[in-house]
Amino acid sequence: MSSTPQIPRSETTTVEFTVRYAETDQMGIAYHANYLVWCDMARTAFLRERGFSYRELEAGGLLLAVVEAAVRYRSPARFEDQLRIQCWPREVSRRSVEFGYVIANAGSDRLVATARTALIALDRTHALSRLPAAVREILTAIPDPVRL
């Protein structure tokens, strides 16, 4: 089993939570689609910690739409496991941002999954837009600490 790579926490956001029964399948393992929900939790926390909330961005006319998502499952997460997700920007352009994620068991440091999501900027009419300069400034891309 792999252990979680060490990522400088100042460049990432970390979210910890417990896997709920409702998030597991009949085998007691976290259902695969929930990993994307957990990535969303980490991504919104990343922006919030840096002074931007999705609600405020959307009120200002910026929509961030997920256009691509990938998860690589490394080991199972089970009911009542305490998980830790670290999130960071991998790539940033004028119109898009890609985030990376490492999901680990917080108790054992066992690597559970890696993931990435790509988002594009849209305006209120859902037309392609640009990320505001203030948002791009907080989205400094950092190298992946692990192969995603």
Kindly name the residue from 25, 81, 109, 144 that is annotated as catalytic. 25
109 catalytic residue (yes or no) = no
Here the tokens at position 140 are 């400094």
Distance CA 85, CA 40 (A): 10
Here the tokens at position 22 are 């409702």
- The helix (run of H) or strand (run of E) holding residue 138 is helix 133-138
**8 A C-beta contact, residue 135 and residue 127:** no
Could you identify the residue written with the tokens 């352009």? Answer: 93
**8 A C-beta contact, residue 128 and residue 122:** yes
Residue 23 to residues 76, 79, 81: CA-CA distances in angstroms?
Answer: 12, 8, 11
User: What residues are annotated to the active site?
Assistant: 25
